[in-house]
């Protein structure tokens, strides 16, 4: 932000400053910063690209945003259009799939195609690949006392990611994403709304839900759905009802159970009916 502030310091009175981000939260903070710095005309895309994509779909409008929208959950991306506007950082093939380096001492976020992912085993470099093959105790020993941020910065300049900073990309899409076959486009999932999310315990990976309709039982197939979370299906193997382990929950109960992905307050809980 300070860099942009310096670059536009002579245009604070007469230029429009327009911002957008994934869900609008970072733009809220950035717009406050720029207004504090003296910019008069500061605008932001309310709700970010997530809300924008939802609105244009509902109204049947053409998207001005092309490609994938980066999201901060396990998906790492939500496709808005079929255009691919980036390339694999390792081989240069048109690709827009993000990967976190498998090496716990690195976790560099970069773009990696399926072929490189298989060859490099989700790693950003041969150095990281070799480290992941070491015993866990040795990996921990290597990380001890080192600042991960410095390692990541150095790896970002690595020759292994030679296509990460390869100049300006074309203003036209590099490729078109393949259509995924989804049987659920033909066979709609029958489901009934059970309740809504109330909290997510990150460290424990446990979601808290309030039951507002019908009953929930251990063994049920459930669907957790939301604008950012997407549609995630699970089979309920164990749950706690009002703090006590139980096999069933009724309307008004608060239930907790393990969820291997982040749950948001906007998420709804459904029971899948076979």
Average pLDDT over residues 246-260: 94
Instruction: Summarize pLDDT for 113-163 with one digit per residue, the tens.
Output: 999 988 888 898 888 889 989 888 888 888 876 655 444 444 445 566 777
Average pLDDT over residues 3-24: 90
Q: Report the alpha-carbon distance of residue 268 to residue 230 in Å, rounded.
A: 10
Q: Report the alpha-carbon distance of residue 4 to residue 10 in Å, rounded.
A: 11
Residue in 237, 229, 235 with CA at minimum distance from that of residue 261:
229
Residues forming a β-bridge with 221: 235
pLDDT at 226: 85
Q: Report the alpha-carbon distance of residue 49 to residue 66 in Å, rounded.
A: 10
Residue predicted with more confidence, 172 or 59: 59
27 is annotated as an active-site residue: no
- Write down the pTM of the prediction: 0.57
Instruction: Summarize pLDDT for 18-44 with one digit per residue, the tens.
Output: 999 998 889 989 999 999 999 999 999
21, 95, 106, 116: which one is catalytic? 21
Average pLDDT over residues 194-203: 91
| Banded model confidence at residue 271, pLDDT cuts 50, 70, 90 | very high
Domains and CATH numbers, the chain: 2-59 (3.40.250.10), 68-176 (no CATH), 184-272 (2.40.30.10)
Are 84 and 67 in contact by the 8 Å Cβ rule? The answer is: yes
Q: How many other C-beta atoms lie within 10 A of the C-beta of residue 119? A: 13
Strands 221-226 and 239-241: unpaired
């Amino acid at each position: 932000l300070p860099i942009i502030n310096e670059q536009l310091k002579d245009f604070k009175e007469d230029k429009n400053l327009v911002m957008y981000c994934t869900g609008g939260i970072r733009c809220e903070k950035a717009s406050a910063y720029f207004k504090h710095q003296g910019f008069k005309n500061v605008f932001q895309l309310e709700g970010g690209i997530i809300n924008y994509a939802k609105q244009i779909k509902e109204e049947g409008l053409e998207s001005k945003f092309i490609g994938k929208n980066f999201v901060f959950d396990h998906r790492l991306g939500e496709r808005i259009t079929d255009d691919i506007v980036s390339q694999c950082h390792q081989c240069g093939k048109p690709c827009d799939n993000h990967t976190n380096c498998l090496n716990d001492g690195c976790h560099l976020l970069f773009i990696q195609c399926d072929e490189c992912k298989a060859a490099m085993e989700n790693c950003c470099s041969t150095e990281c690949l070799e480290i992941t093959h070491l015993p866990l105790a040795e990996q921990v020993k290597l990380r001890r006392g080192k600042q991960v941020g410095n390692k990541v910065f150095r790896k970002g300049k690595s020759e292994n990611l030679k296509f990460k900073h390869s100049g300006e990309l074309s203003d036209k899409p590099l490729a078109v994403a393949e259509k995924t076959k989804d049987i659920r486009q033909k066979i709609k999932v029958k489901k009934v709304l059970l309740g809504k999310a109330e909290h997510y315990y990150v460290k424990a990976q446990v979601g808290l839900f309030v039951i507002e309709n019908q009953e929930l039982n251990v063994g049920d197939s459930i669907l957790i759905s939301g604008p950012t979370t997407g549609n995630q299906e699970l089979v309920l193997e164990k749950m706690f009802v009002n703090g006590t382990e139980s096999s069933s929950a009724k309307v008004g109960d608060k239930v907790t159970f393990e969820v291997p992905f982040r749950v948001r307050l906007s998420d709804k809980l459904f029971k899948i009916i076979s």
